[in-house]
Amino acid sequence: MKLLLENAHIEGIRYYDAYRKHGGYRSVEKALKMTPDEIVDEVKKSGLRGRGGAGFPTGLKWSFLAKPEGVPRHLVCNADESEPGTFKDRYLMEFLPHLLIEGLIVSSFALGSNATYIYIRGEYAWIPDILERAIQEAKNNGFLGKNILGTGFDLEIYVHRGAGAYICGEETALIESLEGKRGNPRIKPPFPAVQGVWMRPTVVNNVETLAAIVPIINMGGEAYGNIGVGKSTGTKLISACGNLNKPGVYEIPFDLSVEDFIYSDEWCGGIPNGKRLKACIPGGSSVPIVPANLLTKTAKGETRYMNYESLSDGGFQTGTMLGSGGFIVLDEDQCVVKHTMTLAHFYMHESCGQCSPCREGTGWMWRILKNIEYGKGKMEDIDLLWDVQRRIEGNTICPLGDAAAWPVAAAIRHFRDEFEWHVLNPDEAQVRNYGLAHYADRREIPAL
């Protein structure tokens, strides 16, 4: 069942006429007849969880918004999408810009925002044109601007381009950036819901979260909440990449098994050249990497599914997270040490530098990983690496520190033998990869 991408392949759906013809903007017509509180209630009933990565319930987040008399409030759409492996928001904005605009209108009405901003990563430089055109079309048809549909509700939506900084996806850094400053995360509290952009109450939500408001209003929160499994309601966009026959953006039902998602022709179509699966990072680079045997099955031997609960089954010992839905697949020829090294470089580059555990620790992790990868590592380095990541986690202003530590921790936890092999065989490690030797002494070999 598709709730977001159902009409993605209709000719001209990027433009107002086709979008409207296929049922577009119905949710605005419906929502503007409701009260803002009724809309928030529907969102609560839907069980929608934020699609930006943390999975926090959206309705609950909305209900925290402070409403002091006479102070404007703002909705900000987080389109910074910079987590390695993640490119789903881009797809939504490129091909279904009106779906996002529609979701923004309903959400802005529910939250009382008369000026809503889409903060988009600067590198997506061609997308603001698409969004601005959609905004203009919506305006020409009375869905934006002054006195929308005669209800007295005014709304402007502005597109604001960032300029290349992953940290600006973190909501308080995003707010700083929107104010024209460096993207340094703020210390919380105060939370954005109380003092956000220009010290006004602010809600920051992900692109996909805000698009999902449209089906929630159209079908009703309860009906939306009945789709899915447990606390994973609705559907989720997954951006699949790495070693796959059909990488791309998919809208999945939450009862899809990980194995089907990777191997079925309906989805990613398996791994190129008949290679075997080695490991996967299923929720964007910040979530733990898991080896094949823990990806398709949980430690208890149960089938693993593409949803919040199933992917995190086993905690960080044997599980991982759904995160942003950036699904990165490594085949048998890939090197976990090298892959982890590129991610460590990413976090070092993207640390804003405000807190020393993150600023110094990310650099340390990269340098140690580089030494191990290039055959200059020592056995103690593996323990040192473990120690460094442990000292970052939980000791920083924002979660980028944790996000940098987790991938390293998981790589050592599950692939320590591969790290050791690099140290013991420095010359060999320069000419070949460790492959699936990881599984040599295990009963379960991920043949699949």
Partner 1 sequence: METIENMANTEVQFSEQALNKVKEIIHRYPEGKQKSALIPILHLAQDQFGGWLDVPVMDYVAGLLQIKPIEVYEVATFYTMFNTKPVGKYVFEVCKTGPCMLNGSDDIIKYIEEKLGIKPGETTADGLFTLKPAECLGACGYAPMMQLGKFYKEHLTREKVDQIIEQCRAGKMELN
Ligand X SMILES: Cc1cc2nc3c(=O)[nH]c(=O)nc-3n(C[C@H](O)[C@H](O)[C@H](O)COP(=O)(O)O)c2cc1C
Nearest-approach distance from CB 85 to partner 1, in angstroms: 5
Shortest CA distance to 294 belongs to which of 264, 322, 314, 324? 314
Note whether 64 and 193 are within 8 A (CB): yes
Length of the chain: 448
The conformational region for residue 375 under phi > 0 = left, psi -120 to 50 = alpha, else beta, is left
Comparing C-alpha atoms, which of 83, 66, 74, 91 is closest to residue 9? 91
Nearest distance, CB of residue 401 and ligand SF4, angstroms: 4
Q: What Å distances lie between residue 148 and 43, 99, 101, 345, CA to CA? A: 22, 17, 14, 47
Site residues for ligand X, window 45-64 (CB under 6 A)?
50-54, 56, 58
CB of 217 or CB of 337, closer to partner 1: 337
Report how far residue 150's alpha carbon sits from residue 155's, in angstroms, rounded to the nearest whole number: 12
Smallest separation, CB 282 to partner 1 (Å): 13
Nearer to ligand SF4, 127 or 365 (CB): 365
Q: Is 326 in the site for ligand X (CB under 6 A)?
A: no
**Packing angle of the helix pair 36-46, 97-111 (nearest 10 deg):** 120
| CB of 277 vs partner 1, minimal distance in Å | 13
Residue 433 contact among ligand SF4, ligand X, partner 1, none, beta carbon within 5 to 8 Å by kind: none
CA angle 18, 217, 235 (to 5 degrees): 80
Query: What does the per-residue mask of binding to ligand X show for 158-177, with x meaning CB under 6 A?
Result: --------xx-xxx------
435 binds partner 1 (CB under 8 A): no
Q: By CB under 8 A, tell whether 359 contacts partner 1.
A: no
Q: In the stretch 341-380, what mask flags binding to ligand X with x, by CB under 6 A? A: ----------------------------------------
List of residues contacting ligand SF4 (CB under 6 A): 167, 185, 351-355, 358-359, 396-398, 400-401
Cβ neighbours of residue 84 closer than 8 Å, sequence gap 6 or more: 284, 285, 326, 328, 343, 346
Interface of this chain with ligand X, residues 399 to 438, rule: CB under 6 A: 399-400, 403
Structure tokens at 398: 């924002």
**Contact predicate 206/93, CB 8 Å:** no
54 binds, among ligand X, ligand SF4, partner 1, none (CB under 5 to 8 A by kind): ligand X
**Between 311 and 358, whose beta carbon lies closer to ligand SF4?**
358
Nearer to ligand SF4, 76 or 404 (CB): 404
Residues 276-315 contacting partner 1, CB under 8 A = 281, 285
Question: What 3-state DSSP class applies to 447?
Answer: coil
* Distance in Å, CB of 120 to ligand X, minimum: 10
CA distances from 58 to 47, 81, 88, 181, 256 (A): 8, 18, 19, 27, 23
Instruction: Pick between residue 216 and residue 292 the one whose CB is nearest to partner 1.
Output: 292
Per the listing, tokens 């290679």 go with: 275
Q: Check residue 85 for interaction with partner 1 (CB under 8 A).
A: yes
Which amino acid makes up residue 219? M
HSE-up (13 A, CA, CB side) for residue 340:
35
Number of residues near partner 1 (by CB under 8 A): 57
Contact (CB, 8 A) for 184 and 354: yes
Residue nearest to ligand SF4 (CB): 358
Asked if the peptide bond before residue 189 counts as cis, ω within 30 degrees of 0, the response is yes
CA 109 to each of CA 45, 73, 299, 441, 448: distance values in angstroms, whole numbers, following the listed order: 18, 11, 45, 59, 49
435 binds, among ligand X, ligand SF4, partner 1, none (CB under 5 to 8 A by kind): none
Using the rule CB under 8 A, which residue among 9, 68, 69, 126 binds partner 1?
A: 126
> By CB under 6 A, what part of segment 82-101 binds ligand X?
82-83
Binding mask 45-74 for partner 1 (x = CB under 8 A): ---------------------------x--
CB of 173 to ligand SF4, least distance (A): 7
Q: Are 109 and 39 in contact (CB under 8 A)?
A: yes
Residues that bind partner 1 (CB under 8 A): 72, 81-87, 90, 115, 121-126, 156, 158, 160-166, 177-183, 198, 239-243, 247-249, 281, 285, 326, 328-331, 334, 338-339, 342-343, 345-346, 349-350
